[in-house]
Amino acid sequence: MKRTTERYTEKQFDTVVVGGGMAGLCAAISAARHGAHVALVHARPVLGGNASSEIRIHISGADQSLKQAQYAETGLIYELMLENKARNDYYSYSIWDAVLFEAAKKEKNLETFLNTVMYDCETEGGRIKSISCVQETTEMRIKFNAPIFVDATGNGTLGYYAGAEYRQGSESKHEFDEPHAPEVANNERMGNTILIKAYDTGKPVKFTPPSFAKPLTEEQLKYRMHCAVHKVDSSMAPDPEEWLRLSGTSCRGVDYGYWWLELMGEKDDIIPDYENIRDDLYAYAYGLWDHIKNGGNHGAENYALEWVGALPGMRESRRLVGDHILTENDILEHKIFDDAVVYGGWCIDLHAAKGLLDFEVLPSDCHHFSGVYTIPYRSYYSKNIENLFLAGRDISTSKLALASTRIIACCATGGQAVGTAAALCAKYGVNPRGLAPHVGELQQLILKDDGFLPGFINTDKADKARTATFTASSHKVGGEPEKVTDGITRRLDGESHAWISDGISASGEKLTMKLSKPETLSQIRLTFDSDFKYPIRVTMAYNRQIQQRIGVPAELVRDYTMTLKKAEKEVRKIVVKDNHQRLNVLDFEPTECDTAEIHITATNGADVITVFEVRAY
Ligand SMILES: Cc1cc2nc3c(=O)[nH]c(=O)nc-3n(C[C@H](O)[C@H](O)[C@H](O)COP(=O)(O)OP(=O)(O)OC[C@H]3O[C@@H](n4cnc5c(N)ncnc54)[C@H](O)[C@@H]3O)c2cc1C
């Protein structure tokens, strides 16, 4: 039959991001905020990738689930989680999806294309000219043209189509001399997983497995905790230290079950085998639940199955090669690269070679370390495709380094760095590699946007607060007002790096910035405390939920007025009510002034005010 219609359109952007997981979303928002006209092309109906309601992996980071809380990732990922925390006390994944969708929709320079799959690309002389996509819901084929592309597909699909150099499986010890590398290179990779969730109904519930369920026995599961009963006492929360101690040994229950339901397939490449693996995971998920319900006493008599994921999350596939391949040695030596743009701190988290089917070993072997490491800018762009950035788990690492960098907060901060870099590429008219002379500017923008880079502080010459004098209505010892310009925006190594008021008087507390000379300002940036000791992520895991507090972090400043003065006369006033963010950016018409007064009248519950940073532009 003759084709009668051609639904086809072509679009031009400054930056096209493919893949709307946390890495791609942060890349797209960041590029848009820095002035680039951005398209985010995403195959699914909801944003967030593995962290979305479709897959429900909770976000971990360099804080190692609170073992080193001072290293929590900030910037965009933290902003999104705080937004969620203010609206979603009961861990609804639908609300989390909406928070992410809203964040993308709000950006005026960002156009998001959901249910849109990139299936090909056109290259010329080692550059990507365009990508071809189809939006399956509308049957529309869309060609996106841009000077800069970001591969945030997880699998490195865009790089693969474009002919980018990539790696899979494990490097041999010989190649990088990594302590945990095998003598001979192999094709082992961590597998895909479907999560399940069940809840206690308070009365006995029957379960009949579907005919396709694959049975599992107690003997096969002897190294995998799979009881339903929580052995920890919730009345002890919120006491994070105690929960930390307990969570390692407690029964995980079936609230966040089970990360070890993991298969990697039999084929050489995990990607073409995805649907076979999916069907097997689906069958094992029901087989496992059948075992828990009907195969002996697992404390699950009253439990009903609420949710079984249908879309497996992927951990490991292609790693695109950049100008630097991050290795396990870089991580264990805690390298601070000159061109660091991201940091990580998760352990080298390796899984059993055959996943669930490796019945005789523990499902994971985590090599722990303290502290953090950095990832250089050179790991975030392709070595041979000159206009291709990488973000997320497909960045340039060895297998062993990926075992740490794949953690979602690390993927998201990488996305933010890449998005900012993409906008700088447009500003300077260069390719990712050509941005190298401007990496200092990129690092400063990351810090300015509430990122953290160990070993780097605010040295932004445009920030007029750095030469101003600060006084305050009161302060605690160690929380002197001038600390708001020491360049670090978190408690670190026993230092507060903040102005901390001595309580809050009935009329509030005042922080005053006296500029070194009158200036025309159009923006003030304030960074408040939120206390990293309390996690704020959305999670199905009960023992992670009860580490958290209900509501907005108490330490965050809630109500304040920022007044600009010239020769003691008020020239501008901005009133802020009900703040629940760490970074507050106040934009206003250019105003000549010599003083800024920040008068804080309420926090979200804390009895002192903590301000890490004031910047003035
Ligand atoms: C079971 C499991 C447990 C895990 N546990 C944790 C944990 O506890 N904490 C933690 O932090 N991390 C954990 N991880 C790791 C983490 O989930 C991933 O490494 C991380 O989500 C990768 O982020 P990303 O943005 O690179 O990719 P993804 O989250 O995979 O997002 C990529 C998105 O790109 C889209 N896409 C792909 N191809 C195309 C295309 N051609 N066109 C358009 N869109 C496309 C996909 O649909 C996908 O949504 C776990 C992973 C798994 C599977």
User: Which mutation among 29, 120, 137, 153 tests ligand 1's pocket best, with the greatest number of atoms within 8 A of CB?
Assistant: 153
Res. 256 pLDDT band, cuts 50 70 90: confident
DSSP string across 314-380:
-----EE-BSS-B-HHHHHTT---TTEEEEE---EEEE-TTGGG-TTS-SEEEE--SS-EEEEGGGG
524 CA distance to ligand 1 middle (Å): 35
Q: How many residues does the chain have?
A: 617
Torsion, CA 187, CA 188, CA 190, CA 191, rounded to 10: 80
Cβ of 406 less than 6 Å from ligand 1: yes
Average pLDDT, the chain: 94
Which residues are CB-contacts of 232 (< 8 A; sequence separation ≥ 6)?
A: 243, 246, 247, 250, 543
pLDDT exceeds 90 at position 2: no
- Ligand 1 atom with minimal separation from the 391 CA: 26
- pLDDT for the residue 250: 45
**36 or 543, greater pLDDT:** 36
153 CA distance to ligand 1 middle (Å): 8
The CA distance from 398 to 375, in Å, is 12
Nearest to 445 by CA among 411, 422, 469, 468: 422
Cβ of 41 less than 6 Å from ligand 1: yes
The CA distance from 293 to 287, in Å, is 10
Res. 3 pLDDT band, cuts 50 70 90: low
Cβ of 53 less than 6 Å from ligand 1: no
Cβ of 150 less than 6 Å from ligand 1: no
Which residues are CB-contacts of 183 (< 8 A; sequence separation ≥ 6)?
A: 172, 173, 174
Cβ of 314 less than 6 Å from ligand 1: yes
Cβ of 572 less than 6 Å from ligand 1: no
Residue with tokens 């933010």: 416
Cβ of 408 less than 6 Å from ligand 1: yes
Q: 3-state secondary structure string, 465-483? A: HHHCEEEECCCCCCCCHHH
Nearest CA to ligand 1 atom 51: 315
Mark 157-177 as b/e (b = at least 16 C-beta within 10 Å): bbbbbbebebbbbbbeeeebe
Cβ of 22 less than 6 Å from ligand 1: yes
- pLDDT for the residue 225: 81
**DSSP 8-state class, residue 69:** G
| Segment 565-592, tens digit of pLDDT | 999 999 999 999 999 999 999 999 999 9
| Segment 114-140, tens digit of pLDDT | 999 999 999 999 999 999 999 999 999
108 CA distance to ligand 1 middle (Å): 26
